[in-house]
Structure 1
Amino acid sequence: HLQNPALVKQLRTSELHVGKAVETVLRSERFFADATVRARVPGPVEWAVSAARRFGPLEPPPSPVKLGRWAARMGQSLYYPPNVGGWPGGRTWLSPLALLGRANLAADLVSGRTAAPAGAPLDVLGLARRHGRAGSREEVAGFVTDLILGGSPNAGWAESVRAAAGETPDDATFARRAAIAVLASPEAQLG
């Protein structure tokens, strides 16, 4: 049932015009409220596509077949739902196996192994440079966090990402490891 009187009114006055209803939802303060942002768990397909899109257009792009195989490994085999109702949703996607699959997909995505044919590793450091955020490893960690999560979940987050990325010989490797760490974090599992 609808709980937004403005949306109900919009639907009635526009003779059920869906475009106007979508506009009302997107302009609603509730749409951007803390209680609704990152409040649900996306399924494997949605998570895989979203993870790839965070970095902008990739060249070569991820292979839909490879992303589909990853989704199947995480429990959502395309075109083979478990029943006529489709796949379960929400927290059912947060099993240890699914989380491990998401972390491994993050590593494959950043390393370029999801492209067909497999390509060079993702240039996360170059992306940070293009946005003027590559002055230090802390700044790169902050950039990756903003890119993937839309902001830092807490004050010590950038340092946590830096620690998770570990000691690396070069900044490019650090940037890729930071991206994997953020994508594999519990915070990145919410949509």
Structure 2
Amino acid sequence: MTDSARSLGSRLSAVLAEVYPDLDADILSSMVLDAFWPEGTTRRKRGRIAGNTLWSERDALLITYGNSIVDGAHKPLDLLNDFLHRYLRGTLNSVHILPFFPYTSDDGFAVSDFRTVNPQLGDWPDINRIAADFTLMSDLVLNHVSSQGNWFNAYRQGQAPYDKFFFEASPQDDLREVVRPRTTPLLQEV
């Protein structure tokens, strides 16, 4: 592990320890880093003033789904990469690809595996090609995973640390003030 990855992991662990004091922040940090930089991928560094990699007024960002451009013959992420280079290179420097992981519902937000790119879109090399020339942003939707994914299945089996990843509610709980733009019921029996 590089010094910068260790530094990011340490900072992330510190934040996660504050947010989730009852959980092992180092394990959570490791899972987040592994989800965004799986083995064989690297984090691209963008130098700015004194190493600042935060957003500035010089940034222009496209927000898109990984399958916004399809032709039936090529991988959507290849088409997106081609579109970015052909039409937007020099106009924007960043792209936010909405969840590109495998999913079971909610337009990609009910992620079933954070370590894999949805094969209908492409694969990690496709993501890396985009990230080589554009700052890449992605959603890590930890608060909304698939009930058919590995994390939830491990939770149901009582496996640590997943056994602490989900909250359980009862039909008797007063949830009238919960607002969510969904057509399905808030609670689902498991």
The TM-score, its normalising length taken from structure 1, stands at: 0.24
Q: Which has the higher helix share?
A: 1
Higher RCO (CA < 8 A, seq sep 6+): 1
The TM-score, its normalising length taken from structure 2, stands at: 0.24
